[in-house]
Every structure is written in structure tokens, then in C-alpha cells.
Amino acid sequence: MGEGISDYTKFTVDLRRHMWKASVEMDLRRLIWQIAVMGKYISAKIHESHRKLAGFKNIYGEEQLTLDRSADEILKNQLEYSGFVREYASEERDAVIQIGKGDEKYFITADPLDGSSLVDTNLSIGTIIGIHKESILAEGKKTLAAAVYITYGPLITMVYSAGKGTHEFVLNREGEYVLSEENITLKERGDIYSLGGLRKEWTPAHLKYIEFLEKEGYKLRYSGGFVPDINQVLIKRGGIFTYPALKKSPNGKLRLLFELQPMAFIIEQAGGMATNGKQDILSIKVTELNQRCPIYIGSRFEVEKANEFLANG
Ligand code: F6P
Ligand code: MN
């Protein structure tokens, strides 16, 4: 086979086969597969919208808002007919909506298009989904059954965990999600750091922690898109992403339900950790839909160090 030509004589493992082999419960694997398919529809919308953006972007970013809403509509409408989802909560909506008949097993959280303000720069953006077994305003650890994220970059990839490791798939030209990395495992310690929030807004304890990483020779890798920034830590097998408490916003920026819980689930399943600087993200009680929370997520050494610095700060 020549370089760059896929070798279809070799056996590939697609997403459905992988979940079946891993004994992911049937309804859950059907739901995860449907979410992966929705990623293709969202990607198609990004393509359409990007063409329009070339001439029409206004100072209010209205085009991006349209795109966020379209991604949300795609998810809501498709999930409504999946037969597996009782309630849908989205970063784009003020309240949880009931989309099932009332006896479905799963409750969904969605950040339909994370990092959409980057769409005109052609940096990667993504979709983040949490799949819960119970109504979502409860403690995360007990309710998350699975989490998925999709990256829209040079390639479309999807990463899922159903509590049996973390796995990555790449969408091929035939429209199939093919297994690319199984049981991704982070090293104890990585060498990249990804830092949100303005430096002048950081707390003294956080600043000391970052200075520690800098002395240790960590390389800065921050795109400004949560999905690709987390994906980088995962695929490079370690490092740290943080969006800390800021002086003016002590809860940071990122949302616990829509962004942090699903990513914490995926990174923990890959042997990493996620805390708010003190407490595990998945053990934080969720009281509000749009609750924000500081985050330190990545390999164990860096997250434990962050906890140490914050405890002594
Ligand atoms: O969803 C919020 C988001 O766009 C994330 O994707 C990203 O991590 C963060 O905001 C970037 O924030 P800032 O522009 O403050 O670095
Ligand atoms: Mn987001």
C-alpha cells in the first residue's frame, strides 16, 4: 500500500464494534454511537457557516451564535428521537428540558460547540457530552455513566469513556469512526501546560504554582479551546490544563456540568486527575445548571502539585 492510502484489506475496529467488544451496555452504546453521528452533522454546519463567516462576521459575533444554536438544535432534535434520553441540558439553554416520554434511562448534558469563537481562525473546536444515569443536579460521580467529546480539527476525532477506559476514534473518509487509540493512559507526569485566565487576575497561590511549572521547564500549549486543549494533554499522555479561580471571578470560567464533569470523567478513566485545587471535580455537588468552577486537570503529578500549592497559598 502506498503512503497516504488507507489499507482496507486490513481489519479495522469501528466504534460500534469496540463498544460491543468492551461489553458497554446496549442502550448506552447505541446512544454513544448516535452522538458520534451527530458530530458529523455538526461538522457539516461548521463547514456551511465557515463559508458565510468569510464575508459576514459582525462585531457581535452573531454568526458564531447561530452556529452554537444550530449545534444545540441538532443534538436536541436527534436525541429526542433516540429513544434513550429523558432530559437534555445544554449550555445554550436556561433550563433542563424533558425530551423523552419519562421512562428513558439517560440524562444528557451538552456543550454543543465549545470554543465556537475560534471558528473563524480555523483552530479546532469541539462538542462535549455527559451521559448521566440520574437527573443531573446531583453529585457527579454517582450519575455519570459515560462521557464523550468530539474534536473538529484537521480531522474529526471522538473520545469516549463508558467507565471502561478512555478510547479515541478518527472519522475516516468513508464516514466511519475507526479506533485509533485504545485504553489511553496518561504518564504520572507530563511536560506541557495550558493556562486560562489573565495572569494579572491569578491568585498568589496559583501564580506560585505556575512559576513552579515554569522552573521545571514545562512548555506552554494553549489554544483557547477547551476541547483541543484537553485533547492535547490526553493524546500527549500528560501535562496540565488549568482555568483557575480569578480575583474577579473566584469560580473561574468553565462550567461544571457541561464542560468539567465530562472531561474529568474521561481524564480519570485515562489514569489522570481533575480537581478544583482542593476537591475532585466529580465529587463536587452541583446546585445550579450554570455553576462554574476552577479546574486543574491532567496527569497526577501536576494536579497533586496544584492541590499542594493551593493548600499552602
Ligand atoms: O467555553 C469556554 C471557552 O471558550 C473554552 O473553550 C476555553 O477553554 C475558554 O473559554 C477560554 O477562555 P479565555 O478566552 O478566557 O482563555
Ligand atoms: Mn464551552
Q: Is the pLDDT of residue 5 over 60?
A: no
pLDDT digits (tens, 9 = 90+) for 111-128: 999 998 888 889 999 999
Statement: residue 227 has pLDDT above 80: yes
Ligand nearest to the CA of 258: 2
Residue 132: band (very low, low, confident or very high) from pLDDT cuts 50, 70, 90: very high
Q: Determine if ligand 1 sits within 6 Å of the CB of residue 126.
A: no
Of the candidates 176, 257, 192, 197, which has an alpha carbon nearest to the alpha carbon of residue 231? 192
Nearest to 151 by CA among 134, 164, 169: 169
The average confidence (pLDDT) of the chain is 92
- Contact between residue 275 and residue 232 where contact means Cβ atoms under 8 Å apart: no
Residue 228 has pLDDT above 50, yes or no: yes
Whether ligand 1 lies within 6 angstroms of the CB of 277 is answered as no
Confirm if 102 and 86 have CB atoms less than 8 A apart. yes
User: Which ligand lies nearest the alpha carbon of 125?
Assistant: 1
Q: What local confidence, expressed as pLDDT, does residue 2 receive?
A: 43
Mean pLDDT of 251-257: 97
Contact 127, 110 (CB under 8 A): yes
pLDDT of 305 > 80? The answer is: yes
303 CA distance to ligand 1 middle (Å):
20
**Mean pLDDT across 9-16:** 84
Tell me 52's DSSP state: H
Question: Hey, how many other C-beta atoms are within 10 angstroms of the C-beta on 45?
Answer: 18
Distance 111 CA to ligand 2 centre (A): 6
**225 Cα: distance to centroid of ligand 1 (angstroms):** 6
Judged by average pLDDT, the poorest of 141-145, 154-158, 212-216 is 141-145
> Which ligand 1 atom is the nearest neighbour of the CA of 255?
1
Mean pLDDT of 49-56: 57
Q: Name the residue with cell 501546560.
A: 193
**Among all ligands shown, which has an atom nearest to the Cα of 128?**
2
pLDDT at res. 56: 53
pLDDT tier at 140, thresholds 50, 70, 90: low
Which of 53 and 76 is assigned the larger pLDDT?
76
For residue 227, give the ligand 1 atom closest to its CA. Answer: 6
Question: CA torsion, points 134, 287, 125, 47, in degrees to nearest 10?
Answer: 70
Pocket of ligand 1, candidates 123, 243, 247, 257: which has the most ligand atoms within 8 Å of its Cβ, to mutate? 243
For ligand 1, atom 11, name the residue with the nearest CA.
Answer: 224
The distance from CA 11 to its chain's CA centroid, rounded to whole angstroms, is 29
Is this prediction's pTM over 0.75? yes
- Taking residue 234's Cβ as centre, other Cβ atoms within 10 Å add up to 26
Domains and CATH numbers, the chain: 9-181 (3.30.540.10), 192-312 (3.40.190.80)
Does residue 87 contact residue 97 with C-beta atoms inside 8 Å? yes
Q: Which of 221, 253, 258 to mutate to test the pocket of ligand 1 (most atoms within 8 A of CB)?
A: 253
Looking at ligand 1, which atom is closest to the CA of residue 117?
4
pLDDT at residue number 9: 73
* Residue appearing with cell numbers 429526542: 80
- DSSP annotation of 62 reads H
For ligand 1, whether the C-beta of 196 sits within 6 Å is yes
- Of 100, 96, 124, give the one whose Cα is nearest residue 110: 96
**pLDDT at residue 186, as a whole number:** 98
Task: Output the pLDDT for position 137.
Answer: 78
Least confidently predicted of 28-37, 112-121, 132-141: 132-141
Res 1: pLDDT: 40
In the structure grid, which three cell numbers stand for residue 216, read together? Answer: 521545571
Query: Residue 142: its pLDDT value, please?
Result: 73
Closest by CA to 39, choosing from 222, 176, 223, 183, is 176
Tens of pLDDT, residue by residue over 260-302, are 999 999 999 999 999 999 999 999 989 999 999 999 999 999 9
